Amino acid sequence: MEAQLTQLKQEATEAIASVTTLDALEQLRVNYLGKKGQLSQILRGMGKLSPEERPRIGAIANEVKEALQQSLDQANHQLEKAQIAAQLAAETLDVTMPGVSRPLGRIHPLNSIIDRVIEIFLGLGYTVAEGPEIESDYYNFEALNTPPDHPARDMQDTFYLPHDQLLLRTHTSSVQIRYMEQHDPPIRVIAPGRVYRRDTVDATHSAVFHQVELLAIDRGLTFTDLKGTLKEFVRQMFGEDLPMRFRASYFPFTEPSAEVDVQWKGKWLEVLGCGMVDPNVLKAVGYDPEIYTGFAAGLGVERFAMVLHQFDDIRRLYSSDLRLLQQF
170 scored as a contact of ligand 2NL (CB under 6 A): no
Is 253 one of the binding residues for ligand 2NL (CB under 6 A)? yes
Question: CA 13, CA 15: separation in Å to the nearest integer?
Answer: 5
Residue of 184, 191, 189 whose CA lies nearest to 292: 184
| Contact flag: residue 195 with ligand 2NL (CB under 6 A) | no
What is the identity of the amino acid at 126? Answer: Y
CA 216 to chain centre: 32
Asked if omega into 192 is within 30° of 0 (cis), the reply is: no
Half-sphere exposure of 10 (CA within 13 A, CB side): 6
Distance CA 195, CA 210 (A): 6
Angle between helices 109-123 and 223-238 (to 10 degrees): 130
109 near ligand 2NL, judged by CB under 6 A: no
Q: Is 229 in the site for ligand 2NL (CB under 6 A)?
A: no
The interface region with ligand 2NL, picked from 22-30, 110-118, 249-257, 307-315 by CB under 6 A, is: 249-257
The β-bridge partners of 190 are 128, 214
Candidates 72-80, 96-104, 119-127, 251-259; binding stretch for ligand 2NL (CB under 6 A): 251-259
Helix (H) or strand (E) holding 167: strand 166-168
* The one segment of 126-134, 151-159, 218-226, 248-256 that binds ligand 2NL by CB under 6 A: 248-256
Q: Which of 277, 306, 314, 317 binds ligand 2NL (CB under 6 A)?
A: 277
Return the residue nearest ligand 2NL (CB atom). Answer: 298
Binding to ligand 2NL by residue 262, rule CB under 6 A? no
Q: 264 burial class (0-12, 13-18, 19+ CB within 10 angstroms)?
A: middle
Whether residue 14 is annotated as binding a ligand: the answer is no
Closest CA to 6 of 68, 90, 91: 68
Q: Which is nearer to ligand 2NL, 110 or 299 (CB)?
A: 299
Instruction: Give the range of 27-35, 88-96, 225-233, 274-282 binding ligand 2NL by CB under 6 A.
Output: 274-282
From 16, 75, 168, 177, residue interacting with ligand 2NL (rule: CB under 6 A)? 177
Tell me if 135 contacts ligand 2NL by CB under 6 A. Answer: no
CA distances from 172 to 36, 141, 177, 319 (A): 88, 11, 9, 24
5, 57, 281, 317: which one binds ligand 2NL (CB under 6 A)? 281
Which residues of the shown chain bind ligand 2NL in the complex (CB under 6 A)? 173, 176-177, 211, 213, 215, 251, 253-254, 272-275, 277, 281, 296-300
